[in-house]
Amino acid sequence: MGSKPEKIIVIGAGIVGVSAAIWLKRAGCDVTLLDRLAPGQGTSYGNAGVLASCSMVPVTTPGLVVKGPKLLLDPNFPLFMRWSYLPKIAPWLMRYLSHANDSDTRRIAEALTPIVSDSVEQHVSLCGDGSAARFVNQSDYSFAYADRAAFEADNYVWSLREKAGFVPELLEGDAVREFEPAFDHTTNLLAVMHQHGFILDPGAYVAELAGNFVEMGGHLVTAEVKDFDLSGGKIRTVLTSDGPIDCDKAVLATGVWSKTLMAKLGLNVPLETERGYHIVFENPSVILRSPVMVASGKFVATPMSMGLRCAGVLEFGGLEAGPSKAPLDLLKKQVKKTFPNLAFSKTEEWLGHRPAPADSLPLIGEVATTGVYSAFGHHHIGLTGGPKTGRLVAGLVTGNKPNLDLAPYTPNRFL
């Protein structure tokens, strides 16, 4: 008789956790997927939906230390701070800004590239022949600029993308409107990235993947994780709101909420929430052929099954406070400026929490020798890098070391 399959608990049913659960199940493990919410209803529900393979440049580019305070005070820039939260976030913010230099930016970009650069292929492999594949749309991903001068002002970022192998096709003047009729004459350059993609409904997609996981024989449990039993220094049991669940190993993929659970494992991770907003314009009169990053407004517009979703405003303000009015008002203003003739039946507004480690790199790997593996910390590229991260961590759990240096992502850098 064969040996009994390892019992693995994956904590977190967003895109990273569901991906890990599917790959672990394919490897023959006995897998339980555990979350306090239904799959795909947390952070993975709200995003621009883009499989942004070229998005390997961190926010902390050179000059941010000087520009950051000015941008926070600019009511027309999509970066907001709840000032009452500043004393609490200040230590993280100082650590975060310490990486806003050329050498760190290049190092971080190089490390992020293998996590995101093959995003479409990873999503296709994750779906296989399952029903979730219908949500994956392979497409272009364009960056819209007023003119060539505006494009060239972003030269630093584009040079890093080019180094990673991402070179856009540039369309100018009337070619812009031939490619994307939704734009008027205020947009005169499109930098078009080919071989990208987007998800037609991110929340439904992750839920469908979880359903495919259950069809494979996986277990889905709705409960909140309270603690771990690490008898003998190894994970034995996950303690939940519905009682203990025994396991051989565990994967922690709960996004920004992982900070509290990591503390129970002895790691104080410098992790904050990037509060991200989106608005869905239902039954829109503007139909885009593929996702577009509007450089002037710093938002992404994506054609989804429920309407035109626009996302991109960022706010620092912690996990507890509800949505702020100003970020949503600015997003509406920028959308109106870009698409002045946009008509729609109604809107859906959303606020979610993106996990932001101070060094802009996700945590992927075993926590010391506990048998608990981290898989979180993707800032705004979680949907893009989730399937690859899930596949990598599944390989670590099953002893199949990936052909990739995982040292930049080790959670033990915070021990």
Q: pLDDT (tens digit, 9 = 90+) per residue, 340-381? A: 999 999 999 999 999 999 999 999 999 999 999 999 999 999
Dihedrals φ, ψ of 94, to 5°? -65, -40
Q: Is residue 215 part of a domain?
A: no
The enclosing domain of 286 has a CATH number of 3.30.9.10
Global pTM value:
0.96
* Residue 320 included in any domain: yes
User: Is the residue at 396 inside a domain?
Assistant: no
pLDDT at 75: 84
Show Cβ contacts of residue 248 under 8 Å, excluding neighbours closer than 6 positions: 6, 7, 8, 235, 371
Within a domain: residue 108? Answer: no
Sequential pLDDT tens for the chain (415 residues): 457 899 999 999 999 999 999 999 999 999 999 999 999 999 999 999 999 999 999 999 999 998 888 888 888 888 999 999 999 999 999 999 999 999 999 999 999 999 999 999 999 999 999 999 999 999 999 999 999 999 999 999 999 999 999 999 999 999 999 999 999 999 999 999 999 999 999 999 999 999 999 999 999 999 999 999 999 999 999 999 999 999 999 999 999 999 999 999 999 999 999 999 999 999 999 999 999 999 999 999 999 999 999 999 899 999 999 999 999 999 999 999 999 999 999 999 999 999 999 999 999 999 999 999 999 999 999 999 999 999 999 999 999 988 999 999 999 999 8
* 209 domain-assigned: no
Q: For the chain, how many structural domains are there in total?
A: 1
For residue 266, being part of any structural domain is answered with: no
Q: Is 129 among the domain residues?
A: no
Give residue 2's pLDDT: 54
Considering the domain boundaries, does residue 318 fall inside one?
A: yes
The domain of 160 spans: 56-84+136-199+271-355
pLDDT at 406 (0 to 100): 97
Question: Which pLDDT does position 1 carry in this prediction?
Answer: 43
